[in-house]
Amino acid sequence: MRKLLLFIMTIVLIASPAYALTVLDFESVPNTYRYGTGGGNTNLGNNYPGHPEVTFGPDAMIMVSGQSEYNNTDYPPYSGNTILFSKTNSLIRIDFTDPMAYVSLWFTTASDLYLEAYNSSDILLTKSVFSGSNLGTNNKLYVDRPTAEIAYVKIHDSGNHYTIDNLGYSETPVPVPPTVLLLSFGLLGMVGLKKKIA
């Protein structure tokens, strides 16, 4: 039984698809696309340094946490000190040059927040929803598909009071974390051991 479990674990780990998760933390964005003092107050568009495969709109800007009504305690960044937000629109749309299989983000919101994934024909593929408020902290939302078919995502709430940090995306599905796999195999092993003893 032990050899069988070891063989199954080896096969699962070898068969798991390799993936490359790209994470944008918004720290290296030039001042032209920053909101507030010293910033150009211009939509980020496809001007994220080194990542022309991503386009932000319609008026997505970067802001140093603590400016304007987005203060440090209510809207903290997940990492660093900059966050993505939209000053005049409750919607941020993020387009990808090549379709993705996985998109995630960390967020802070004052109301329900929606992350919706669409294909190139503008058909809603899947969505993830956070209900309520999480002011003062960060939570993660993600959408995924078995194949790369997410052409763009829309992020919106009901009152335009949310911020985003650490946008992640991958063209291949993100696998189940190894700890979950190991726990699953451990439970299978316990069941097998119980049957052997009985």
**181 and 101 in one domain?**
no
Give tens-digit pLDDT for 100-154. Answer: 999 999 999 999 999 999 999 999 999 999 999 999 999 999 999 999 999 999 9
Phi/psi region, residue 160 (left: phi>0; alpha: psi -120 to 50; beta: rest), is: left
Closest by alpha carbon to 93, among 114, 75, 108? Answer: 114
67 and 6 share one domain:
no
The span from the CA of 60 to the CA of 48, in Å, is: 11
Residues 1 and 71 in one domain: no
Split into its structural domains, the chain has a count of: 2
Specify the residue for token string 């919607």.
91
Q: Are residues 83 and 142 in the same domain?
A: yes
Tell me if residue 189 falls in helix, strand or coil.
helix
Tokens coding 188: 């299978």
List the alpha helices (DSSP H) in the chain. Answer: 2-15, 178-197
Residue 12 sits in which domain range?
Answer: 1-16+176-198
CA–CA dist 196, 198 (Å, integer): 6
pLDDT tens-place string over residues 39-77: 677 889 999 999 999 999 988 988 887 666 566 688 899
